Every structure is written in structure tokens, then in C-alpha cells.
């Protein structure tokens, strides 16, 4: 059966899937992907919102007859593909295809660590103690051991870190539970399946570390498909470099003390060394007073207390390794701790003393942690080698990869110099469904009063549309300020629109509340700019406070800017502007999700109109009608308030 018949009005997809619509763009995209698969080509495909890109790549994937690896942006999207989309297409096509889902090992209960924690009986909180019996019962009954299947214990619960393994503390084939291991079971199923669904983090972590998950699958793969492919440069940069988190060091100290209690009770020097090491690591973090920050290595060098403790931590880690090695014959767990200590010591020494010019050394602080990163200036060469390592097809699909139809920024970042690039416009009627509003007389985005001006400019539209709004900000500080200002404005106007704030609950919970609450307003930052789908009347107004240029103070961006300047290349034109356009396209894509949605996209940043590059930015957005008049935008919203549509 031809693809034309598969996607026809009376074809198998339309017959099996209620609500299926024929979209010419979807068929064209599927034809291009099928051709790339047959010819083992590399295809970069941009499909506007509403094209139906998932079906456009799933149909050729299931018809290909070879082994297909599909990598997507998040675990939620993985689950959606595996549990909903793939079975639906497989049933419609009546394809005899075996599918599998593969996640990172931290998603699966570890029998060994579960038993160890149960025996130890020490918990950080009452919640941990109460949740452990639920996990024990789950592990006895579950086929997969995937923690997402145990709804009564939140995926963010602290206890999960105690009962799952990491690459560091997995015993591998030396484990007594190896044959029953949920991770190994998932990998075996993946090896036997025709289509395997992974996520980008797992793909690059396994490939970069030569782990036995994705890296083991790759030689047998005929086709690799990346959905949400615009995320790949950032994810790949993270894993093609090296990272040491102090949580890894603390976990090593904790595991060493625990294993010492179980296997070398007569040797007190080991737990004492582990305890001393953990204290030094925690003191190391305290040499920085900031909760959240990023520093280039040149800035880190100015902190003499940090440098002194870096040397002490390295010496202490070396001593701990040497003590572990004296006892490693007594238990496999002790031997693994010694190996972890050796690996971490090598990484720490490399970070502190590297003179590699193509690596960016930087430090990241979180409220409770710290990470030392070595990130490549460019991942193009490494990823290009990966693409050329075997004869197979590579498909990169996203709604936002190009800048005004130009794919060169993305292809240069990823090293896809020989890729075929194609784009399909959205089938939505943007000129009639949406309005782009750029308010007049906005101050400079860097002025202290800017966020207040944003709220003032947005308020007439919030009032006219009776809520139903996403207010998206490029910084957490602006988000919180806007939330406070908006709450006051609504109260003084006597409007009881519910205002939701990012961080008050999980993203899933906030979205559910937004969908179910008439007139709701969600105030959020960039974590809500993509992967968020609110079709229908609930969302009719999206505000973006400023153009999402990455901060030039970011150590990775600053190093790449300096590198481009030395080569005589404009970093603004070749790096900063394309990145901002792609990010903005993601935020704008939240507004119109179906053929019947209507709404206003408000971009407050005056640079969209005032700067020469502004035209390049708005021309990259969907072809909405444009206005600078608040009355025009307000009337458009008022006409489309639920229950008042013409």
C-alpha cells in the first residue's frame, strides 16, 4: 500500500483513528522520511504546529522493515509514544512490529539497593519510611519495575534515589540479582524489538559513556529518529563533555559507610575516612554563598577558599580510594566503591588542571548542590563522527529548527553538513486564528520598570479575554515580580481570575488546574515554553515578556562567543540570534494547537520592532495578523471568549 493510500480519507489511519484529518503537509513529510530511510540518508525536517509530525515519522518507521530507534525530548513524551501513538499506528497498519521502551537506569527499581535499604532501616524522613513498603510490594508484582507505574509514590520522592541504581553504584554482572534486574530486562526487550523508544538524555549519556544501553543497540539500528530535535545541541553538549556533581561524591561516601558496616565491621578506618571526606565535600560547596549561579573557570579561580578545598577534596578522595583498595577483596560492593573513587578522582583532577583549549570549564551552583562541567566548544565534529559511523538513516524532526527557513545554524551546530533539509508550513489558518500584538511605547527591556510596564500593557488584554492566559517570562525574577503585580492589579479591579505560579505545584498539576479552571492565568518561566499542549478555549492569550536571548554572562555561551570572535565570525548573527529565534518559536507555538483555536500572541520587547534584526525574528513566526493597537488586540480576544464567540 502506498503512503498516499495510508494517509487518505478512507485509508487505514482514518478508519482506525477517530479525528484523523488528511493534511497534505503530513503526507509530504512522510514521503520524504520514507525516502530517507530507504536511501540511508540524513534528513532534517521542520514541520509547523498541526502538521502531525509524529504520524509522519511513525508510519514510515513501522513500514521500514528494519530496526528503528526513536529518541524524544522527555520521559513523558516517551510514554505517550510507547503507550498511545505507536500502538495506534501499529494497529491501524496491522504491522507485525515489536516495540520496546527503554529509560535510564534511575527509572527502574533496583532489587539490590531495595533490599539493602530495607535491611538498613535508616531514613531521612517519615515519608521515606512510609513509601518503602509500597515500593517493596510494587517490585514483587511489577513486570517492568518502572517507577512511573507506581502512582502512589511521587516520581520526585527522595526514597527513589535510595532504591534505584546509578551508573556509579551498579554492580553489573557481579550482582546477585542480575538475572532478575529490571534494567537488564528492559535492555533485553529493546535488543529484541523492532522499534525502541528512548529519550535524548539516555541516548547521549549511553553513547558518550559507552554504556550497555543505547550504545549496544546502535550497531543493529537501521534508522534513528529524533523528535523534538531542536533540543539536541544542548543535550549533546552536556554529555560529550564531563561533569562531576558533588552529589556523586556524597553518594560515594554514603555507600562506602553503608558497605563498610555490612562487610568490614572490624576496620573502622574506612567509615571514618568516608565521613571525613563527606564533610570536606559539604564544606567545599559552602565556599560559595550563592544559591543558584554559573561561573566560568576564570571566575572560580578568584575564590581562593574554593581552590584550597578543591585540592583537599582531591587528596581526601585519593586517600579514600587507597583505603578502599586495601579492603576490596572482601566484597564486590567495596571493590565497586574503590573503582568509583578512582574514576571520580581522574575527573576531578582533569577539571582542576586541564589546559585543553577546546573545552569550556565552568561551575554550576544549585541550592543544595554543585557541578563541575567540562563542555566542548563545539559538538559538531563528535556528532558528525557518530552519524558517519555506520550505514543507516538519521531523521531530525521538530517544529522549530530553522530561522526563517534557513537550517544552517542547526546543521553547523550538529555537524550535519551533508543533510537534506526540508520544511512544511503549519496547516492552521494563522491569519484568521491568531493575532501578533507588539505594544507601543514599551521601555528598554533592561530598565528597572520593565516588568511593571509589561503587566500594565497586558492587563487590558487579560481583562478583555477574561483570563485564559499564559504569561511567559525569560527570568524567574521577572516571573515572580509579575505575579505579585498582577495579583494586586486583579484585586484592585475586582477581578477574581485564578493566578497560578510556576513552582507552586508540579508542571503536570499546574497544567491540569489551568485546563479545568475557567479564567485561569498561569505565570511561568521558560520551562513552560515547550512541551506544553493546551488545545481549545482554555488558552487564548500568550504573553512573552522579552526576546529570549541567552545571557552573555553564561560561561558556555561567553566562551563560544569569544571563540567565534577570534575566528572573525559574528557571534550575534551566527549564534545568539538563531538561538533566540528558535526559542521564541517554541514559546509562540503554545497558542494555536488545533484548527479551531483562536488567540493573541503578545511580544512586549520593543526590539521586535525597533531593531533591524526584529524583522528577521517575526518573519520566522507563523503568519499571524499583526497589530500595535491595544484596542484591536483586546477586541480580538473579547470576540473569542468562551460562550461569546460569533
pLDDT, averaged per 10 consecutive residues of the chain (646 residues), comes to: 94 92 95 97 95 96 96 90 95 96 93 87 80 93 92 86 88 89 93 95 83 74 96 92 93 92 90 95 94 93 95 96 94 93 95 90 93 94 90 95 93 95 95 97 96 97 96 95 97 95 88 92 90 89 96 91 94 94 93 93 97 93 96 94 66
Chain-centroid distance, C-alpha 428: 27
Strand partners, 471: 523, 543
Q: Which three cell numbers stand for residue 41?
A: 540518508
pLDDT of residue 508: 84
Task: Give me the residue label for grid cell 575516612.
Answer: 273
Q: Which helix (H) or strand (E) holds 362?
A: strand 359-365
> Please, which residues have CB within 8 angstroms of residue 322's CB and are 6 or more apart in sequence?
none
Chain-centroid distance, C-alpha 583: 13
Domain 241-376 grouped into CATH 2.60.40: no
Contact between 449 and 443 under an 8 Å Cβ cutoff? The reply is yes
CB neighbour class for 38 (10 Å; exposed up to 12, middle 13-18, buried from 19): middle
Which CATH code of 3.40.50.300, 3.40.50.1110, 3.30.565.10, 1.10.3720.10 fits the domain covering 430-639?
3.40.50.300
C-alpha to C-alpha distance for 409 and 573, rounded to whole angstroms: 10
C-alpha to C-alpha distance for 130 and 151, rounded to whole angstroms: 14
C-alpha to C-alpha distance for 449 and 456, rounded to whole angstroms: 11
Contact between 338 and 215 under an 8 Å Cβ cutoff? The reply is no
For the range 487-492, what are the long-range contacts, defined as Cβ-Cβ under 8 Å and sequence gap of 24 or more?
489/455, 489/459
The one-character DSSP state at 101 is: E
CA triple 544-546-551, angle to 5 deg: 125
Model confidence, pTM:
0.91
Contact between 588 and 621 under an 8 Å Cβ cutoff? The reply is yes
**What CA–CA distances, in Å, run from 99 to 93, 223, 334, 394?**
14, 14, 38, 19
The one-character DSSP state at 551 is: P
pLDDT of residue 646: 47
pLDDT of residue 185: 93
C-alpha to C-alpha distance for 23 and 594, rounded to whole angstroms: 13
pLDDT of residue 44: 98
Contact between 53 and 29 under an 8 Å Cβ cutoff? The reply is yes
Contact between 455 and 482 under an 8 Å Cβ cutoff? The reply is yes
Q: Give Dmax (Cα) for the chain.
A: 82
Q: List every span in the chain annotated with CATH 3.40.50.300.
A: 430-639
Q: List every span in the chain annotated with CATH 1.20.1440.
A: 241-376
How many CB atoms sit inside 10 A of residue 307's CB? 14
Residues 318/323/326/328 CA torsion (nearest 10 deg): -90
C-alpha to C-alpha distance for 297 and 137, rounded to whole angstroms: 47
Task: Give me the residue label for grid cell 565497586.
Answer: 336
Three-state SS at 72: strand
Amino acid at each position: 500500500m502506498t503512503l498516499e493510500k495510508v494517509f487518505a480519507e478512507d485509508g487505514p489511519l482514518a478508519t482506525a483513528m477517530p479525528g484523523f484529518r488528511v493534511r497534505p503537509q503530513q503526507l509530504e513529510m512522510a514521503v520524504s522520511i520514507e525516502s530517507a530511510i530507504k536511501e540511508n540518508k540524513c534528513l532534517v525536517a521542520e514541520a509547523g504546529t498541526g502538521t502531525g509530525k509524529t504520524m509522519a515519522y511513525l508510519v514510515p518507521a513501522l513500514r521500514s522493515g528494519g530496526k528503528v530507534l526513536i529518541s524524544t525530548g522527555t520521559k513523558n513524551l516517551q510514554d505517550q509514544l510507547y503507550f498511545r501513538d505507536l500502538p495506534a499506528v501499529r494497529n491501524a497498519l496491522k504491522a507485525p512490529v515489536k516495540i520496546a521502551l527503554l529509560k535510564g537506569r534511575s527509572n527502574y527499581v533496583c532489587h539490590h539497593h531495595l533490599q539493602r535499604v530495607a535491611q538498613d532501616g535508616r531514613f531521612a524522613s517519615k515519608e521515606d519510611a512510609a513509601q518503602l513498603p509500597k515500593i517493596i510490594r510494587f517490585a514483587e508484582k511489577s513486570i517492568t519495575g518502572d517507577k512511573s507505574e507506581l502512582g502512589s509514590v511521587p516520581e520526585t520522592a527522595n526514597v527513589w534515589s535510595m532504591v534505584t541504581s546509578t551508573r556509579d553504584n551498579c554492580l553489573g554482572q557481579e550482582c546477585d540479582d542480575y538475572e532478575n534486574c529490571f534494567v537488564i530486562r528492559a535492555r533485553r526487550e529493546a535488543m529484541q524489538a523492532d522499534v525502541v523508544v528512548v529519550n535524548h538524555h539516555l541516548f547521549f549519556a549511553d553513547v558518550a559513556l559507552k554504556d550497555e544501553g543505547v550504545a549496544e543497540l546502535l550497531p543493529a539500528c537501521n534508522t534513528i529518529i529524533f523528535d523534538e530535535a531542536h533540543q539536541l545541541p544542548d543535550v549533546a553538549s552536556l554529555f560529550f563533555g564531563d561533569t562531576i556533581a558533588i552529589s556523586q561524591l556524597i553518594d560515594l561516601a554514603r555507600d562506602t559507610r553503608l558497605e563498610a558496616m555490612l562487610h568490614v565491621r572490624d576496620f573502622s578506618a574506612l567509615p571514618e575516612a568516608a565521613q571525613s571526606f563527606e564533610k570536606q565535600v559539604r564544606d567545599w560547596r559552602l565556599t560559595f554563598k550563592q544559591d543558584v549561579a554559573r561561573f566560568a573557570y576564570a571566575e572560580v579561580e578568584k575564590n581562593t577558599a574554593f581552590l584550597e578545598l578543591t585540592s583537599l577534596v582531591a587528596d581526601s578522595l585519593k586517600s579514600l580510594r587507597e583505603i578502599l583498595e586495601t579492603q576490596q577483596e572482601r566484597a564486590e560492593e567495596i571493590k565497586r566503591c574503590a573503582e568509583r573513587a578512582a574514576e571520580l578522582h581522574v575527573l576531578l583532577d582533569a577539571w582542576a588542571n586541564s589546559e585543553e583549549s577546546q573545552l569550556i570549564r565552568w561551575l554550576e551552583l544549585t541550592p543544595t548542590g554543585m557541578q563541575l562541567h567540562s563542555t566542548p566548544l563545539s559538538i559538531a565534529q563528535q556528532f558528525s563522527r557518530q552519524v558517519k559511523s555506520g550505514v543507516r538513516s538519521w531523521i531530525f524532526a521538530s517544529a522549530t529548527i530553522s530561522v526563517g527557513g534557513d537550517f544552517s545554524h542547526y546543521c553547523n551546530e550538529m555537524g550535519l553538513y551533508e543533510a537534506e533539509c526540508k520544511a512544511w508550513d503549519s496547516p492552521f489558518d494563522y491569519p484568521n486564528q491568531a493575532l501578533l500584538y507588539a505594544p507601543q511605547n514599551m521601555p528598554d527591556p533592561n530598565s528597572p520598570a520593565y516588568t511593571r510596564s509589561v503587566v500594565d500593557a497586558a492587563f487590558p488584554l487579560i481583562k478583555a479575554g477574561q483570563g485564559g492566559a499564559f504569561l511567559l517570562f525569560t527570568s524567574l525574577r521577572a516571573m515572580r515580580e509579575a505575579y505579585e503585580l498582577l495579583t494586586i492589579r486583579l484585586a484592585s479591579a475586582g477581578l477574581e481570575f485564578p493566578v497560578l505560579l510556576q513552582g507552586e505545584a508540579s508542571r503536570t498539576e499546574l497544567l491540569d488546574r489551568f485546563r479545568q479552571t475557567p479564567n485561569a492565568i498561569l505565570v511561568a518561566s521558560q520551562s513552560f515554553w515547550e512541551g506544553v499542549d493546551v488545545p481549545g478555549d482554555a488558552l487564548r492569550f500568550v504573553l512573552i515578556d522579552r526576546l529570549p536571548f541567552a545571557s552573555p554572562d553564561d560561561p558556555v555561551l561567553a566562551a563560544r562567543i569569544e571563540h567565534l570572535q577570534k575566528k572573525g565570525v559574528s557571534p550575534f548573527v551566527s549564534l545568539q540570534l538563531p538561538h533566540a529565534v528558535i526559542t521564541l518559536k517554541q514559546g509562540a507555538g503554545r497558542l494555536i494547537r488545533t484548527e479551531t483555536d483562536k488567540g493573541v500572541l503578545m511580544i512586549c520587547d520593543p526590539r521586535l520592532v525597533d531593531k533591524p534584526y526584529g524583522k528577521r525574528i517575526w518573519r520566522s513566526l507563523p503568519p499571524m495578523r499583526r497589530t500595535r493597537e491595544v484596542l484591536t488586540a483586546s477586541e480580538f480576544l473579547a470576540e473569542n471568549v468562551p460562550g461569546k464567540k460569533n
